[in-house]
Amino acid sequence: MKFGLLLPHFGEHASRDNVLQGAIMAEKAGFDSVWVRDHLVFEPHGEMEKPNRTFYDALTTLTAIGAVTERIELGTGSLIPFRHPLITALMTGTMTQLFGPRVILGFGAGTFDHEFEAIEWGERDRVELVRSNAEIFKRVFTENDVTYSDANFSFSDITIEPKPLGGRVPFWYCGATPRSARLAVEFCDGWMPGRISMATLDKRVTTMRELSETAGRTMPTVAVIPPTSIERTYEEAVKHVNVPGLLAWANKAKFAVKPPSGKFETVKDLSGQLIVGTPEDALEEIDRFAATGVEHLVFDFRFKFDRWFDQIELLGSEIIGKVNAGV
């Protein structure tokens, strides 16, 4: 399994040092990847974030990180399709030329209508925008004089240079719905839901395996990005988490597999949607993710960005180091 970190490039803790020094520290600690989110007009999630609208652009942030690191993968979880795909293709190709083939393009349809209304794309089908991006990238990353047309974009004889170093950039679908998992099998290299219960994850992965086998396709990489709080004691770790907010959100999830009680009521019910406790507790949860088929786990420290460097150091020594050593 690979391990990554969501970067503090948004909200009150967004800063040059947190982003750049955090990425350098993560690479030295043995993490495999760092990740960014994406918004045009940011509205913080009430159960996870304080009302601060600072938001560093996703691809600009990854470019800066690529310049100060050597090997760590740079992912978007997820990029929202409010950019023209030819612009994103040019930016991505340039990024790989500057720091190597380390980019993973995770795309999602987005949650907020207002971001698309702001650019007068409010009437577009956002899921189909994701598909358009995937199809256009497949073409312009490897071909010249590309002609393309669908309901969203149309162009003729377009060549984008530079092409990505190392070939086509991996494209992942980010979302937790049954449809997102099906679409990942259809046209993506990976699937990354956000907060998703372990039972729901298991159901989605089982479906993806069946669909992949039927279609004769390689099973997409399965990744997750759960909120995380790790401390020396469980009590200290859970103190930093808005458990009522996470439970309320989980109970509103439309397609979630509910606990036997029919309702998310306890921290234990949030397995998959939250990693909380001691390093030993985290290792047990990692084992559960691995048994479900997860290949890339990204820790989301949104509740703990005020202790960002401490969390990198703790996970690096007590989790990444032990996993890599086979302890």
Angle (CA) 17-69-78 rounded to 5° is 75
Q: How far is CA 53 from CA 40, 49, 286, in A?
A: 10, 10, 32
DSSP-derived 3-state class of residue 273? coil
Average confidence (pLDDT) over 173-188: 97
Q: Which residues, listed in sequence order, are joined to residue 299 by a DSSP beta bridge?
A: 5
User: Where do the H-state alpha helices sit in the chain?
Assistant: 16-29, 58-68, 85-99, 113-117, 126-140, 178-187, 198-215, 234-239, 243-252, 279-292, 308-315, 321-325
The answer to whether the peptide bond before residue 162 is cis (omega within 30 degrees of 0) is: yes
Structure tokens at 230: 């790790």
Angle subtended by helix axes 308-315 and 279-292, to nearest 10:
70
pLDDT score recorded for residue 45: 73
Q: How confident is the model at residue 256 (pLDDT cuts 50, 70, 90)?
A: very high
pLDDT score recorded for residue 323: 86
pLDDT score recorded for residue 102: 98
Kindly report the average pLDDT of the chain as a whole number: 95
Average confidence (pLDDT) over 140-169: 97
Report pTM.
0.95
* CB 248, CB 270: distance < 8 Å: no
Radius of gyration over every alpha carbon of the chain, rounded to an integer in angstroms: 19
| Helix (H) or strand (E) run with residue 154 in it | strand 154-158
pLDDT score recorded for residue 327: 62
Structure tokens at 222: 């399965």
Q: How confident is the model at residue 321 (pLDDT cuts 50, 70, 90)?
A: confident
Cα 316 to Cα 216: distance, rounded to the nearest angstrom: 38
Q: How confident is the model at residue 322 (pLDDT cuts 50, 70, 90)?
A: confident
% of the chain surpassing 90 pLDDT = 92
* CB 267, CB 238: distance < 8 Å: yes
Question: Is residue 44 over pLDDT 90?
Answer: no
Q: Which residues, listed in sequence order, are joined to residue 106 by a DSSP beta bridge?
A: 172
SS3 for 64-88, per residue? HHHHHCCCCEEEEEEECCCCCHHHH
Report the length, in residues, of the chain.
327
Question: Is residue 326 over pLDDT 80?
Answer: no
DSSP sequence for 45-63 = -TTT--S---B--HHHHHH
* Interval 236-245: pLDDT, tens: 999 999 999 9
Cα 252 to Cα 274: distance, rounded to the nearest angstrom: 16
317 Cβ neighbours under 8 A, 6+ residues apart: 29
* CB 216, CB 185: distance < 8 Å: no
Average confidence (pLDDT) over 254-277: 95
Question: Is residue 164 over pLDDT 90?
Answer: yes
